[in-house]
């Protein structure tokens, strides 16, 4: 019987170890199931965050595209336009004392010409409708507008048409 005694202790030990191992296995299985559930929840939340981020970015871009230039930016564009218009007029009519009216007339024509090209290029009805995101590009555009020989030719054609119109109006007024 002495020999059986140690075997009985071994069996009891092994049974006890198996029971502990089963309990540990069950606990480990519960932990793993919870980890899988948590991982699923984390992935779900991540996907929701990514989707929300994309929506926020889309809304932000939409807002950026709606914001037009403010008064200060409008004044900067006006300043670029006016300086360029008067510079070309003063360059063309060198004597400001004698040609003051002509300088103002050419400068006005240059101003209208630049705004017309600006509005066409940016597809806006008024330069004040320019989007804030396009402001720097707008400044560069105005600086780059050509007011060279072709522009001067157009100006003189416009002046001739205006003179003809005045002549017709005078003739009509004398007859009427």
| 128 vs 68: CA distance, rounded Å | 7
Please tell me the predicted confidence (pLDDT) of residue 20: 81
pTM: 0.64
How long is the chain?
176
Could you tell me which residues are beta bridge partners of residue 154?
none
Integer Cα distance of 52 and 56 in angstroms: 6
The pLDDT value given to residue 159: 92
Query: What is the mean pLDDT for each group of 10 consecutive residues in the chain (176 residues)?
Result: 66 80 84 88 88 87 84 95 94 85 93 95 92 94 93 93 92 86
pLDDT for position 106: 95
């Amino acid at each position: 019987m002495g020999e059986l005694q140690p075997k009985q202790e071994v069996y009891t030990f092994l049974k006890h170890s198996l029971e502990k191992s089963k309990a540990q296995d069950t606990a480990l299985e519960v932990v793993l199931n919870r980890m899988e559930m948590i991982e699923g929840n984390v992935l779900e939340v991540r996907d929701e965050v990514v989707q929300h981020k994309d929506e926020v970015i889309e809304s932000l871009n939409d807002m950026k595209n709606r914001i037009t230039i403010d008064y200060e930016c409008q004044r900067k564009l006006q300043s670029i336009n006016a300086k360029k218009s008067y510079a070309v007029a003063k360059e063309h009519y060198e004597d400001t004392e004698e040609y003051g009216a002509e300088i103002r007339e050419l400068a006005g024509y240059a101003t209208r010409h630049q705004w017309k090209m600006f509005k066409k290029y940016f597809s806006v009805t008024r330069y004040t409708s320019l989007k804030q995101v396009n402001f720097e590009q707008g400044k560069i555009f105005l600086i780059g507008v050509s007011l060279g020989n072709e522009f001067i030719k157009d100006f003189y054609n416009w002046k001739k048409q205006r003179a003809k119109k005045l002549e017709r109006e005078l003739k009509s007024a004398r007859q009427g």
